[in-house]
Amino acid sequence: MPSSRRVLSSALFTGAVLVLSACGAQAARTGSNTGDRTSPPSEVASSGQASASSDVVSKSSKKLQLAGPSVYRFDDLTDMLATANAVVEGEVLSVSRGVTKGQHAKYTNRNVLLKVTTLYSGTAPDTITVSEWGWDENGDEITADGWEGSKPGDRLLLYLAKGEEDGATVYWALNANAQFLLADESKPVKTGNGPDAVGEKVKALNPAALRKATVDAKKEVDAKKTPPRKPGDYLPSVSTDPTPPPGVASNPALPDMPK
Amino acid sequence: MLNRAVRVSTSIALATAVLTLSESAAVAGNFGAPIGASVQSNKWVFAYYTNLPIELAQHTTWVRGNSINADSRHGLTSPGTSDHSVTDIAIDADYGSSGPQASQWGWAGCPSVSGGVCVHGHATYNTYNTNQATSGWPIRATMCQEIGHLLGLGHRYASDSCMQNLGAYYYGAHDAGHLAAQYGTVK
């Protein structure tokens, strides 16, 4: 009997080791929050320098994909332009490490220095800093809602909000569909994969068509046909239970939550 | 007889271990436009549990219990195969009113992807925007979407689902089809 216990214990131990090994392998494969960490980069990558490239900034080969709902939801470019503090086209001069946010999940934003070549709406200086999702605390680069981080030399058309980070003026795209990479004049622009209707409407446009659509949106806003959106204004009233789709029963009653 | 009992016990123990090891492989495969699955070697960004404000904890619990599990329309009825896909939900602190985080109600990522499927995921709610929402159901709606991302659902432009419409805190029939194909029966 003691012998059978030893064998059984051995078997269970073997099983436990296998499970732990799997966990360890998983942690190694994913670079989880134990083990080596790569600090977000401090170097600056710039365009116009033979030796500079975005690789200087992206030390880690990993890319993290991130998705989530935006506080803004736009029907078309006119909606978006009416809400933006500035709409600009320009070239990325350099990218560098920005502010780090978060108490537990920490993110270091990417500061994108943009030379503004065309101002479609609002006000902006000749050179602005655009804040993008950058890196997690392991130094792994983030791709947010399908938008890859900008690189030196990229030509962008951006619908921007304006604010401050660490006391410095920064701009950021209103949502995933408010940023466009004009990579090739003969091909559709690249944008994020947010759920806005505007995303579906613009994804087939080439840069020239997008520029024209932006100019047209500006004319419509100037004619005061479109008011700016406010964060979350597409949400139903807080006192109204959301309407379920046809053929689907009403939302389940909200249970009393234990205090 | 004793030796046979030992062999059986050994087999059971090893089988349990193998079953555990192969659990993620059992749900391998892509569907729809799953976040993180297009480049399977990618790691998703992740977040951590922190001290949850009571309302966030309550509503997140509600989402886990009602949007995902058996008692909800279009919830998964196979918690044995789904629970390991979303093992943690993280609610994190104020990310402020500026920068790209300020444009998001929340976000989801997965530190452990196997075969294009998240085997350990986290959803983060930006409490800065929570405070702007002033109500519980946007929390439910957001967490419904974040969990949907972790299960593999992408954004889509349709009004019948929390994957697009934050007014809903349930999955639409389209989502349910994807979830059923991936994880088994849905209700």
Q: What residue has token string 């004319």? A: A219
Is residue B17 within 8 angstroms of chain A, CB to CB?
yes
User: What integer pLDDT is reported at residue A134 of this predicted model?
Assistant: 94
Asked if the Cβ–Cβ distance from A165 to B49 is below 8 Å, we say no
CB within 8 A of A50, min separation 6: which ones?
A: none
Size of interface A-B (CB pairs under 8 A): 252
Q: Work out the minimum CA distance from A131 to partner chain B, whole angstroms.
A: 6
Selected for mutation to probe chain A from B103, B139, B143 (highest A CB count within 10 Å) is B103
Q: Which residue from B72, B94, B58, B156 is spatially nearest to A244, judged by alpha carbons?
A: B72
Chain B CB contacts of A14 under 8 Å are: 13-14, 17
Q: Specify whether the CB–CB gap between A82 and A120 falls below 8 A.
A: no
Measured between beta carbons, the chain A residues lying within 8 angstroms of B112 are: 26, 30, 32
Measured between alpha carbons, how far is A83 from A226 in angstroms, rounded to an integer?
9
Is B108–A68 a contact, with Cβ atoms under 8 angstroms apart?
yes
Inter-chain touch B109–A244, beta carbons under 8 Å: no
Please tell me which of the candidates B105, B109, B168 has its beta carbon nearest to residue A65.
Answer: B109
Residue of A203, A179, A221 whose CA lies nearest to A70:
A179
Mean pLDDT calculated for residue range B23-52 = 27
The Cα–Cα gap between A180 and A78 comes to: 15
Cβ-Cβ contacts under 8 Å for B135 (sequence gap 6 or more): A238
Q: A68 by DSSP, 3-state: which?
A: coil
Amino acid, res. A89:
E
d(CA B101, CA B130): 13
Kindly identify which residue of chain B lies nearest to residue A255, measuring between CA atoms: B62
Residue whose token pair is 């990218």: A95
Six token digits for residue A196: 């806005």
**C-alpha torsion angle, residues A205, A209, A215, A221 (rounded to 10):** -40
Would you give per-residue pLDDT tens digits along chain A (259 residues)?
A: 344 444 333 433 333 333 222 232 333 333 322 223 334 444 556 665 433 333 334 455 567 778 888 888 899 999 999 999 999 999 999 999 999 987 666 789 999 999 999 999 999 999 999 999 999 877 888 888 889 899 999 999 999 999 999 899 999 999 999 999 999 999 999 999 887 888 888 989 999 999 999 999 999 999 988 999 988 777 765 444 555 545 444 444 443 333 3
Rounded to whole angstroms, the Cα distance separating B45 from A145 reads 12
**CA proximity to A110, closest of A95, A123, A122, A121:** A95
B137–chain A Cβ distance below 8 A for any pair: yes
User: Is B48 in contact with A247 (Cβ distance < 8 A)?
Assistant: no
Widest distance between CA atoms in chain B = 71
A233: closest CA among B132, B10, B68, B28? B132
Q: Are B160 and B168 in contact (CB under 8 A)?
A: yes
Please indicate if any CB of chain A lies within 8 Å of the CB of B139: no
